[in-house]
Structure 1
Amino acid sequence: MRLLIFLTTLLINQSLFAQVSIGVKANNKQYLSYEPIRVTVTISNQTGSPLTLRNTGGNNWVEFVVRNQSGRVINKVKNISYKGTTIPTAERINSSFVLNNSYDLAQPGNYSVYAVVRTPQQGHSEGTRSAATYFTVNRGVPSWRTKVGVPGVAGDEREYRILNYSGSGTPQIYVQVEDIKRGHILATYSLGRILSYRKALKAIDRSNNLHVLFLTTPELYCHTVVNTSGKTTKRNYYKGVGNTHPTLFTHNDGGVSVTNAKFYDPAKEMEEKTKYHKLSEMPEGYEQ
């Protein structure tokens, strides 16, 4: 009787295994050390009924196996239980995960990762496995850095770094913020595309926020403000005025603003363009 129950359960799990298909894909092929490494897991439900995925009995419904270029499995540094989900019948969902929330992937090199998805009926050694996806981690080289204190927190210090990187083929400007006291990288991320023939400008305001102004298209400059926690608090775009180029100006009170520029509002610019009729829209008999 027990054997019959075991075989029945095995057949159900094998059947369910065949009716759930998953895939995993790295959002980028190239990353900088400490940059969030995001992967997207795609799960298709062909079981004929809604599929609920949740953590049960100490088993996570989704787990990842990460290997370095030598094939060694990278151990978790932090265990994260992801929120469960329900997939309607015959539908597919995409879920995004940040691998370095659980794994230390700061070491440069090539990596592979595959995902394992388990239903509530499956144990730790069971589940549906995806094919592997691959990505590379590169060490960035700072082109500029400066240290500042943290307002209101005695003894805390941050280092802002600017890195330029073209791993994806398009030159990007990155910001990195480190907690010097604790030796912890708080943030590493791209501020956007940069046209390198014009040097990015940097300034620190009275609250020790970092201001970065860089050329992102032949006409547009991006002004981004990053605080001591590594969060972007402001991002605006500007165009130059006449033959001048936008620049950062530090006021006597410690404030920082963009000068020699006009604020760019794409919606307003489009509205202005629609005020002028094209020649093809002119009424018959009218000549210019």
Structure 2
Amino acid sequence: MNRILLLLILCLCCGEACAQYVTNLTLLKNQFLTGEPVVAVVSVTNRSGADVIVGGHGAPDWLQFEITQSTGQRLSPISIGSEEPLTMKAGGTTTHKVELSGGYSTANLGTFTILANVLHPISGQYFMSNKVRMTITDSKPNMFDQPFGVPEGFSNAGRQRRYQVILFRELDDLQLYCRITDDRSGAYIATFLLGPAMMAVQPQISIDVHNKLHVLFLAMPHVFCHVVVNPDAKVHQRTYYRDPEGNRPTLIMTNSGANVVGGEPFDPAAPAPKGKSLRKASERPADMTPVPKAEK
């Protein structure tokens, strides 16, 4: 009898604990190049019946990611905290976008599963999300591969590095990546996406006098993207140009850097212009007479 009572109490406690959070994990994509950051989105619905505060200076890490290889081997967990406290309202849902880099590097090739654990500070328990699969692969620099020196004014000035540009197929799409490596050891310093590319026009890629990388490529029909990458592996500038007929944008290297000649500036986030509506009969020009109906 005592055993049955104890089991009932344990079941009730587990039921209460499991009801604290409803947690969902998604990734912005599921296929990554070696060294590319993994961007995870964690949504947490607070079902505890009370507001929950996590994070804050000196507070324990409230978010943890577990990554397991297809072989069953677990990688070191990644714990994440925040200097500012976060309030999860009772019954509300909060969404958190997290970039897993630094503490986690996609250095190992293969297939992995990843899940998120969210801390409930009152009970001291972590509550698990769903599992998401991701694949880590690699590709050689098939578009561009040239050395450069890090100039003064940037961290690690004087070090020898390489800019590499990779055209990579993800499912049915072509993606253009930039990778920066150490020229001596070959170690990956950064790998990041430049954007989707269409190969109807060959990308223009060059290093300017300041050792910045310039890439001009066709991102969508009649729209070109110009990306400037600094020697410290950070994107300095990203601009878009429309390709009017007979005036295609072209990358021109200059004594002061680089310019895009031709085309016209384009904002892909701007709303599309409204289409022209059909004219009403009353708006017909005065010199235009109606066409008579055919007689039966």
Q: Which interval holds the TM-score relative to the shorter structure?
A: 0.7 to 0.9
1:149 equivalent to 2:152? Answer: no
> How do 1:40-79 residues align onto structure 2 when only pairs under 5 Å count?
40-54=41-55, 59-76=60-77
The question of whether the paired residues in 2 share the 8 Å contact of 1:67 and 1:112 is answered with: yes
CA distance in 1, matches of 2:137, 2:12: 45
The question of whether the paired residues in 1 share the 8 Å contact of 2:34 and 2:138 is answered with: yes
The question of whether the paired residues in 1 share the 8 Å contact of 2:63 and 2:80 is answered with: no
Residue number among 256, 259, 262 corresponding to 1:260 in the alignment: 262
Which residue does the alignment assign to 1:249? 252
The question of whether the paired residues in 2 share the 8 Å contact of 1:246 and 1:259 is answered with: yes
CA distance in 2, matches of 1:58, 1:9: 29
1:138-157: CA deviations, max 9, x gaps?
Answer: 11221111111111165312
Which residue does the alignment assign to 1:210? 213
Q: CA deviation at 1:267?
A: 8.7
1:66-93: CA deviations, max 9, x gaps?
Answer: 10110100125x7643455211111111
1:253-277: CA deviations, max 9, x gaps?
Answer: 252111233333569996xx66x95
Q: Which has the higher helix share?
A: 1
The question of whether the paired residues in 2 share the 8 Å contact of 1:66 and 1:114 is answered with: yes
The amino acid across from 1:134 in the alignment is: R
Which residue does the alignment assign to 2:133? 134
Q: CA deviation at 1:30?
A: 0.9
Q: CA deviation at 1:281?
A: 5.7
> How do 1:44-123 residues align onto structure 2 when only pairs under 5 Å count?
44-54=45-55, 59-76=60-77, 80-83=80-83, 84-123=85-124
Structure 2 runs not aligned, ≥5 long:
1-8, 289-296
CA distance in 2, matches of 1:58, 1:26: 27
1:184-217: CA deviations, max 9, x gaps?
Answer: 5332121111111221111111111000010112
Which residue does the alignment assign to 2:22? 21
Which residue does the alignment assign to 1:39? 40
> How do 1:135-284 residues align onto structure 2 when only pairs under 5 Å count?
135-143=134-142, 144-152=144-152, 155-180=158-183, 184-240=187-243, 242-243=245-246, 245-251=248-254, 253-265=255-267, 278-280=277-279, 283-284=282-283
Which residue does the alignment assign to 2:3? none
1:91-116: CA deviations, max 9, x gaps?
Answer: 11111222343233221110001122
Flag the 1:266–1:106 CA change in 2: closer, same or farther, 3 A: closer
The question of whether the paired residues in 2 share the 8 Å contact of 1:13 and 1:121 is answered with: no
Structure 2 residue matching 1:171: 3-state secondary structure: strand
The question of whether the paired residues in 1 share the 8 Å contact of 2:56 and 2:86 is answered with: no
The amino acid across from 2:179 in the alignment is: Q
The question of whether the paired residues in 2 share the 8 Å contact of 1:54 and 1:119 is answered with: no
Structure 2 residue matching 1:192: 3-state secondary structure: strand
CA distance in 2, matches of 1:269, 1:93: 28
Structure 1 residue matching 2:121: 3-state secondary structure: coil
CA distance in 2, matches of 1:60, 1:266: 38
The question of whether the paired residues in 2 share the 8 Å contact of 1:74 and 1:103 is answered with: no
Q: Percent identity?
A: 26
Q: CA deviation at 1:286?
A: 3.7
Flag the 1:9–1:101 CA change in 2: closer, same or farther, 3 A: farther
RMSD: 3.2
Q: CA deviation at 1:239?
A: 3.1
CA distance in 1, matches of 2:178, 2:72: 31
Flag the 1:40–1:242 CA change in 2: closer, same or farther, 3 A: closer
Flag the 1:75–1:55 CA change in 2: closer, same or farther, 3 A: farther
Q: TM-score, normalising length from structure 1?
A: 0.82
